Structure 1
Amino acid sequence: MKILLVGHGYVGSFLLPVLTRAGYDVSVCDQNVDRLGGVRNAMRCRYQELTIADLADFRIILWFAGHSSVPMSLRDPDGALANNCLDLLHFARRKQLNARLIYASTASVYSVMQPEDGAAPTPLDESETRLDPVNPYDCSKISMDALARCFANAITGLRLGTVCGTSPFLRSELIFNAMNIAAMRDGFVQLRNRNSYRNILFLEDLGHYLLRLIELSEDLPPILNTGTLNTSIGELADAVAAYHGVPVVDHGNTVTYSFQMNCARIQSLCGAPRQMTIAERCARFREQFRPELQVAS
C-alpha cells in the first residue's frame, strides 16, 4: 500500500519511521527542503501543487501540514483559512475517490472559557462541537470539518488533543514538552491556570491509532476524537514535577479556555493504546530529548 504523508514537521517526522517500520511504502511531501534531508521518496513542493496525476497511486493520504497553532493562525489568519480549510478541501477533491484521506483537525473546537470555580468541563464526543470559534485557528478547523462532509469523499478529521512527546523536529512550547524541558533545564515547572483542563495526545498513541485506521477496511467516521487523557494543567504539572523532583512555580490564573474529549469511539475502532503513567512518559521524554534538535514550528 502506498501512503502519502503530507508534512514532515513535528508530527510528520515522528510518523514517518512508524509507518516505514510497519512495512508501508511512504512518500513525503513538504515545502521545507531542510526538513527532507535523508528522506526517501521526498516530494519537495507545496501540497497545493500536487495534481490529480501526482495523487493517483496513493491509497492513503495523511495530512499534517496545517497552520498548527493559535499563535501561528493569529499571525496569518488568511493563510490559516486557506491552508487548514480551502486548500485542504481542494486537495481532497483531487485524490482518487476511494483513496482515504486522514487529516489533522483539533480538539480545541470543544473549548469553553474556564469558570472561576475551576469546575471541569464535560468530556464531549464528536457530535458536540461548539459552533462559536474565537480565533482563526479554530474557525478554519471547524469549517473544514463541516465542509468535508458535503464536498469530499472518504475523508476523516482527527480532532487531536494537545500533541506531546519527542520527535526529530521538536516543538518545545507544547505543554508537556515545555514542563519537562523547564524541569531539566531550570529546576522547576512553571504553571499558569491550574484548574483549566486539556486533552493530551502523546505521539506514540497517535501512531497507534493511525496504524489501526489504515488497516480498517470499512468506511471511517468523518470525525474522530483522538487523545490520550483528560487532565487539569495543575495535575499534569504536579506529576511532571514529582517525576523530576522539582517544585512547581504557580503564576496564578488568567482568562483561558478549557476542554475535555470523549475518545470512546476511536478506542472502539482501534483498541486503546498501551497505558503509561505520566512518570513513564517523563522518563521516555528525558531519555529521547535532544536540546540541539529543538526547532520552531
Structure 2
Amino acid sequence: MKILLVGHGYVGSFLLSALTNAGHDVSVCDQNVDRLVGVRNAMRCRYQELTIADLADFGVILWFAGHSSVPMSLRDPDGALANNCLDLLHFARRKQLNARLIYASTASVYSVMQAEDGTPPSPLDETETRLDPVNPYDCSKISMDALARCFANAITGLRLGTVCGASPYLRGELIFNAMNIAAMRDGFVQVRNRQSYRNILFLEDLAHYVLRLIELSDTLPPILNTGSLNIGIGDLAEQIGAFHGVPVVDNGNSVTYSFQMNCAHIQSLCGAPRPMTIAERCARFREHFRPELQAAS
C-alpha cells in the first residue's frame, strides 16, 4: 500500500518518521520546498495541483496541510475556507473511490465559553457537534466535516485535540510546548485562564492512532475524536512547573473558550496509546530541546 502524506509541517514531519519507521511506502506533498530537503519521494507542489492520475496509486492519503490555527484563519478567512474545506473537498473527489483519506479536523468545534465558576465542560462525543462556529477556522473545519459525508467517499476527519510535543518543525506557541519552553528559557511557567479546559493530543498518540487506522480493514467512521487527555489549564501549568522546578505565574483571566472530548470511539477501534504522565511528556520535550538551548546560550 502506498501512502501520500500531504503537509510536511509540525504534524506531518513527525508522522513521516513514524510511518517510515513502521515500514510504509510514503510520498510527501508540500508546497514549501525547503521543508522537503532530504525527503524521499517528495512532490513539490500544492496539493490542489495534484490530478486524478497523480493520486491513482495511493491507497491511503493523510492530509495535514490546512490553515492550522484560529489566528492564521482570522488573518486569511477566505484562504481558510478554501484550504480547509472547498479545496480539500475537491481534492477528496479526485482520489480513487476506495482510497482512504484521513484529514485533520479540530476539537475546537466543541468549544463553549469558559464557565466563570470553573465548572468543566462535558466531554462531548462525535454526535454532539456544536453548530455555532464563531471564527473562520471552526467554520471551515465543521463545514468540511458536514460536506464530506455527502460528497466524498472513504473519508475520515480526525477532530484533533490541541496538538503538542516535539517535532522537527516545532510550533512553540502551542500550550504544552509554550509552557515547557518558558520553564526552560525563562525559569517560570506563565498561565492565563487557569479554569478553562482543553483536550491535549500528543504527537506520539496521534501517530499511534494514524498507524492503526491505516491497518484497519473495516470502513472507518466519518468523524473520530482524537485526543490524549482532558485537563484544566491550571493543572497543566502546575504539573509542568513542578517537573521543571519553577514557579507558575498567573496572568489572570480573559474571555476564552473551553472544551473536553470523549475519545472512547477511536480507542475502541485502535486501542489506547501507552499511558504517559505529564512529567514523562515534559522529559521527552526537554531532551529534544537541550542541544538547541545550549547552543542558544
Shared fold, TM over 0.5: yes
**What does 1:237-256 correspond to in 2, within 5 Å?**
237-256=237-256
TM-score, reference length from structure 1: 0.98
Q: 1:77 to 1:287 in 2, by over 3 A?
A: same
Deviations 1:90-125 (A, max 9, x none): 000000001000000000000000011110000000
**1:96 aligns to 2:100 (yes or no):** no
Provide, for residues 169-194 of structure 1, a one-character-per-residue CA deviation record: whole Å limited to 9, x for no partner.
00000000000000000000000000
How many angstroms apart in 1 are the aligned matches of 2:198 and 2:236? 10
Distance in 1, matches of 2:115 and 2:166, equals 32
- Structure 2 gaps of 5+ residues are none
1:287 corresponds to which residue? 287
1:69 aligns with 2:58: no
Structure 1 CA distance for aligned equivalents of residues 100 and 287 of structure 2: 35
- Please tell me the residue identity of whatever aligns with 2:162: T
Match of 1:33 in 2: 33
For 2:69, give the aligned amino acid: S
Counterpart position of 1:200:
200
Q: Paired residues, what number?
A: 293
TM-score (norm 2): 0.98
Could you list the runs of 4 or more consecutive aligned residues of structure 1 that deviate by over 6 angstroms after TM superposition?
Answer: none
Computed over aligned residues only, the root mean square deviation of the Cα atoms, in angstroms, reads 0.9
1-structure distance, mates of 2:229, 2:15: 20
- What is the CA deviation profile of residues 259-278 of structure 1, one whole-angstrom value per residue up to 9, with x for unaligned ones? 00000000000000000000
Q: Which residue of 1 aligns with 2:271?
A: 271
C-alpha displacement at 1:290, in angstroms?
A: 6.0
Q: Distance in 2 between matches of 1:273 and 1:97?
A: 30
SS in 2 for 1:193: coil
Distance 1:289 1:88 in 2: 34
Corresponding position of 2:83? 83
SS of the residue corresponding to residue 214 of structure 1 reads helix
Aligned to 2:171: 171
Provide the C-alpha distance between the structure 2 equivalents of 1:114 and 1:190, rounded to a whole number of angstroms: 19
1:13-32 residue CA offsets vs partner (Å, 9 max, x unmatched): 00001001111100000000
In structure 2, how many angstroms separate the alpha carbons of the residues matched to 1:147 and 1:186? 45
Q: Please state how far the C-alpha of 1:292 moved relative to its aligned partner.
A: 5.2
* Counterpart for residue 9 of structure 2: 9
- Alpha-carbon distance in 2 for matches of 1:51, 1:68: 24
Q: Secondary structure at the match of 2:252?
A: coil
2: CA distance, partners of 1:218 / 1:88: 23
Cross-structure match for 1:211:
211
Q: Within 2, Cα distance between the matches of 1:96 and 1:3?
A: 13
Deviation at 1:289, TM superposition (A): 1.9
**What is the aligned partner in structure 1 of residue 123 from structure 2?**
123
Instruction: Specify the alignment match of 1:159 in structure 2.
Output: 159
SS of the equivalent of 1:117 reads coil
Give the Cα separation in 1 of the matches to 2:281 and 2:218.
33
* Matched-pair identity in %: 88
The 3 A distance-change label for structure 1 pair 244 and 108 is same
Q: Whole-Å Cα distance in 2 between the matches of residues 291 and 264 of structure 1?
A: 38
Alpha-carbon separation, structure 1, partners of 2:104 and 2:143: 13
Shift of 1:291: 7.5
Pairwise CA distance, 1:288: 0.9
Amino acid at match of 2:157: G
Tell me, in whole angstroms, the C-alpha distance in 2 between the residues paired with 1:180 and 1:253. 21
**Tell me, which stretches of 5 or more residues in structure 1 are unaligned?**
none
1:174 and 1:114 mapped to 2: Cα distance? 19
| Distance in 2 between residues matched to 1:36 and 1:91, nearest whole Å | 21
Task: Report SS of the residue matched to 1:289.
Answer: helix
